[in-house]
Structure 1
Amino acid sequence: MKKRITLFAFVAMFLSLIILPNVTHADAQTPEGELRVGMEAGYAPFNWTQNNDSKGAVKIQGDDSYAGGYDVQMAKKIADKMNRKLVIVKTEWDGLLPALQSGKIDAIIAGMSPTAERSKEIDFSDSYYTSQLVIVTRNDTKYAQATSLEDFKDAKITAQLGTFHYDVVDQIPDVNKQEAMDNFPAMRVALESGVIDGYVSERPEGVTAESVNPELHMVEFSAANGFQTNPEDTQVSVGMRKGDSEIAQVNQILAEIPEDERVEIMDQAIKDQPAAEEVATNSSGKKENVFVRILRQNGGMFLRGTGVTLLLAIVGTTVGTLIGLLVGVFRTLPEAKNKLNRFFQKLFGWLLSAYIEIFRGTPMIVQSAVIYYGIAMAFGIDLNRIAAALFIVSINTGAYMSEIVRGGIFSVDNGQFEAAHAIGMTHGQTMRKVVLPQVLRNILPATGNELVINIKDTSVLSIISVTELFFQGKSAAGTNYLFFQTYFIICVIYFVLTFSATRLLRLVEKKMDGPDAYTRLEDTDVAIEADK
């Protein structure tokens, strides 16, 4: 009976860990009267992140930061005409489509073009901005003097992943096409460092890059010498779910905004972006150390991102270690004598093996997208993003820790099991009082390693709109155009976190090892025999 109760207890605890996030619905479906809009908030001048609500910026959901830019101003006009409150949901570019399809957001207003491939997945409104394609290169290269695509022969050119910009790179004769990059900050860093010779962009972004960084140059082309595109490729539209009845209303609102007003809004966005303000400040003679300026402007964002990263890493590692201990102990249970109990024991063992193999064999970023967006699309369950992130990190860590715990249990000499059973201890007592205390000490270094890994791996959770440290740093770099300096600060913060965690765990290890003067019993016995 005790074995049966223990088995059912393990099953119940394991299932509760799976079910708990599904009933934590802090992010309910869109409340009536809200318009939830997704954007990167790091693609100036279309959208960026700032610390206050100046110049018409809107607060980002779940964060103390604000989003500004052309997209935000257009979103405000749409929300006002619809009599709804605008809510900005900051999301990685790759996460925008699944966020829309799963109901996490109501619309994408993020400088997105209504390409034919995207139109298969979502519907688009009429255009709210039309741009032209340019190539951003460095001033100190021969490509800065280019006037046609042929002048970029043999150049190393790339574009953003998941955009039509990358497809048109093939129009450059004999181009050395590079792998697509995840975002514009990454491309600008690659360009400044000489990894690439240029990247394809739209004119507003090119104007911004050129104005805030004198080392960069935007190359424009005439209609005959430039990229040949379809009208929908250079247009920017509002993305909405397939069959959304509100598209007609959005189109009506956009039709009421004249072209000259749109141009005026874009020109103002270019002037208002934080990077442009820095250029004006520097030109006026007011110099400030670049690292001090970045911390002054974005210190609050970095601090909040650090807090989210630590929360996810510490809680995820702790819960994951608990899962690993439970799985490890379950695997040591002796085979049940009752046939029914033995069947359920084996069935649960197979499920545990499947869980371990699946979560060890797939990347956390894929698990995040499947769990967060997949559950919403399949079952209509809208998870709180932080609760979902904690769940993802915990079960991912638990899969690795279960194998680490298994190794720790096997490292305990079989003689100790036999000795414990010989004095009448049950299996549970043996595990609790003899084996697990040794296992916890043995796996402590590996547990610390998992904590360090989790501190770094939480960066992938930006795909589900979790604004952890790296996502905040990338947003800042996309706003201030100080890529090396911003990423260097983020690197230092990560190092401080991982180094501090390692040092603290070393102190715990020493504490568990006991005083330096501790002498093992067998050593004492040897000394006594020598005296005799």
Structure 2
Amino acid sequence: MKKILTILMIVIMSTALFACTTQSNNEIKQDLVVGLEAAYAPFNWTVTSISDYSYPISNQPGSHVDGYDVQMSKELARIMDRNLTIKAIEWDGLIPALNSGEIDVIIAGMSPTSERKLQINFSDEYYRSEIVMVVKRNSVYENATRLIDFSGSKVVAQRGTLYDDLIDQIDNVVHQTPLDAYSNLVAAVTTNVSDAFVAELPVAESVVKSNPSLAIVKLEQGYGFESEESDITVSVGMRKSDTDLLNEINSALSQISVEVRNQMMTEAVLRNNESELTLFGLITKYLSLFVQGVGVTLLLAITGTFGGFIFSLVLVFGKTQKIDKKRDNIFKKIIKRISNGLSTAYIVLFRGTPMIVQAMIFYYGVKLITDISWWTPLSAGLIIVILNTSAYIAEILRGSMNAIDKGQMEAARSLGFSRIKSLLYIVYPQAIKNALPAIGNEFIVNLKDTAVLSVIGVLDLFNATRQVVGATYDTVTPFIITALIYLFLTGVTSIAVNYLENHKAGKELKDA
């Protein structure tokens, strides 16, 4: 019996020790959170099908990403023995996301320019490219071989990139306002708004394969752009304080040969070799992405408008507080002044600043202060829409209240109703009924304006379309689909609001 008990104790202790050791090993293995656009082929682009090359986008459930940056991220995570997480973030939001702790590194085809080095650190290069021009096929610039050949031309580049800075090296150039994405650059050249745009060779190759009407112009050596070494390389970006991570990544990069890197890029370009899709073909291929975008857009608009309406009642109550010099004591007077002042300041602040600015400050500001698990782009987006909408609806309701005969409030008070009960039972119902069309319009505005939340990574309909465009470099067709979807959503909403308005009006006429 004692032997059996001894054996059992050994087994139990061995199992416990093994479990503790396994748990300890799992805890030692760290995460590597990578930020990229998921709309910059062949470096990174969104895909709808799962393959050996794709990887899930953590902040956009159901979406996957492929591309050279993805394969590089997977290889680095493998060498560093880390758990890989990839987040899709708009280009302008990558550095704020990094410095706020949202991501650990940027692997998004980013060049280590001197301006960026002031904000973040960069690793050794992980890809070396060539700067080229993309022009319209059969144009006067297709056979250009030197930079001087583009004298007097209209040239554009992506905003916030070194390519925009290089344009001024062309004599007598018309340096056009930089655009947000390469899909917009493609549209500018194909529609003759621009004569050319500047890009790196792999991106240009993906663009031309998807748009046969465009051609790549390679400039002769010594007659092209004058650039620093950093201008033709891309590196991994990370926070200034992460020196240990910098050394770890450089060590991992040294284990990936140049031949392997070039092969990864070649394969990425081939996988992104999209032929021009018809309208039906594009809908079929990216249906799941469009559906997901519509769902998020509706969630933002419905929750934002309803939540904003509830909060607006509080704001209106605070802003319409009036001091009764005879009845109110000093404490009530102070409370009413504070309430009125705070409500007014809130409304002025949120009506006076764009939602895109509020999103950047609010989302990344909270990330800088604290790292709470539920503070995702979607949850932050919902709160931002509620706060923004409440300011507008509050002013709508206040205007409706001012249109109501003041005698109704006085009559209610004379019958013994408190101010709060008078508002709840007499004033608010009439104000809401009068404001219903305007509130419906606010819902329609939210359907469209929530597109700006793509800057913090919310996969609404606009951002989903932007990722389709980034994968195909077809600007027109995806946005035609999106325009039709928005038109359908706003049309249905308008019909519903008109029905409610007419239904109430008919009911009042019948009661009369």
The alignment's TM-score, normalised by the length of structure 2, stands at 0.91
1:55–1:272 CA contact under 8 A, matched in 2: no
2:67–2:268 CA contact under 8 A, matched in 1: yes
Counterparts of 1:211-360 in structure 2, within 5 Å, are 211-244=209-242, 245-273=244-272, 276-278=273-275, 290-335=278-323, 337-360=328-351
| One of 442, 446, 454 as aligned partner of 2:446 | 454
1:312–1:389 CA contact under 8 A, matched in 2: yes
Aligned to 2:78: 80
After TM superposition, give the deviation of residue 515 of structure 1 in Å.
Answer: 3.4
Deviations 1:78-129 (A, max 9, x none): 1111212211101100010000000001110000000011011010000000
Aligned to 1:53: 50
Residues 1:444 and 2:442 are matched in the alignment: no
Amino acid at match of 2:73: A
| One of 166, 169, 172 as aligned partner of 2:170 | 172
Counterparts of 1:199-214 in structure 2, within 5 Å, are 199-214=197-212
1:41–1:47 CA contact under 8 A, matched in 2: yes
Size of the alignment, in residue pairs?
A: 480
After TM superposition, give the deviation of residue 434 of structure 1 in Å.
Answer: 1.4
Q: Could you tell me how far apart the structure 1 residues matched to 2:281 and 2:61 are?
A: 21
Q: Could you tell me how far apart the structure 2 residues matched to 1:500 and 1:59 are?
A: 34
Amino acid at match of 1:502: S
Aligned to 1:36: 33
Q: Could you tell me how far apart the structure 1 residues matched to 2:317 and 2:337 are?
A: 14
Amino acid at match of 1:198: A
| One of 66, 69, 85 as aligned partner of 1:68 | 66
Aligned to 1:431: 423
Aligned to 1:376: 367
DSSP 3-state at the match of 1:270: helix
Amino acid at match of 1:290: T
Deviations 1:282-337 (A, max 9, x none): xxxxxxx7111111111000000000001001110111111212211233334261
Amino acid at match of 1:377: L
Q: Which runs of 4+ in 1 moved over 6 A?
A: none
Aligned to 1:511: 503
Q: Could you tell me how far apart the structure 2 residues matched to 1:125 and 1:349 are?
A: 53
Q: Could you tell me how far apart the structure 1 residues matched to 2:448 and 2:130 are?
A: 38
Q: Could you tell me how far apart the structure 2 residues matched to 1:506 and 1:85 are?
A: 52
Q: 1:163 to 1:223 in 2, by over 3 A?
A: same
Q: Supply the RMSD in Å over aligned alpha carbons.
A: 1.7
Deviations 1:491-514 (A, max 9, x none): 111111111111111111122223
Unaligned runs of 5+ in 1: 1-29, 280-288, 521-532
Aligned to 1:16: none
After TM superposition, give the deviation of residue 205 of structure 1 in Å.
Answer: 0.8
DSSP 3-state at the match of 2:159: coil
Amino acid at match of 1:426: S
Amino acid at match of 2:203: E
Q: Could you tell me how far apart the structure 1 residues matched to 2:322 and 2:473 are?
A: 61
After TM superposition, give the deviation of residue 516 of structure 1 in Å.
Answer: 7.9
After TM superposition, give the deviation of residue 381 of structure 1 in Å.
Answer: 4.7
Q: Could you tell me how far apart the structure 2 residues matched to 1:86 and 1:229 are?
A: 34
Q: 1:352 to 1:515 in 2, by over 3 A?
A: closer
1:44–1:69 CA contact under 8 A, matched in 2: yes
1:333–1:427 CA contact under 8 A, matched in 2: no
Deviations 1:47-91 (A, max 9, x none): 111012214110111321110000000000111112122111011
The alignment's TM-score, normalised by the length of structure 1, stands at 0.87
Q: 1:148 to 1:461 in 2, by over 3 A?
A: same
| One of 353, 362, 365 as aligned partner of 1:362 | 353
Q: Could you tell me how far apart the structure 2 residues matched to 1:64 and 1:380 are?
A: 24
Q: Could you tell me how far apart the structure 2 residues matched to 1:156 and 1:505 are?
A: 47
2:318–2:339 CA contact under 8 A, matched in 1: no
My pick for the range that moved more, 424-433 or 394-403, is 424-433
Counterparts of 1:51-200 in structure 2, within 5 Å, are 51-61=48-58, 62-200=60-198
Amino acid at match of 1:483: T
Counterparts of 1:488-503 in structure 2, within 5 Å, are 488-503=480-495
Residues 1:422 and 2:410 are matched in the alignment: no
Amino acid at match of 2:415: I
- Paired-residue identity, %: 39
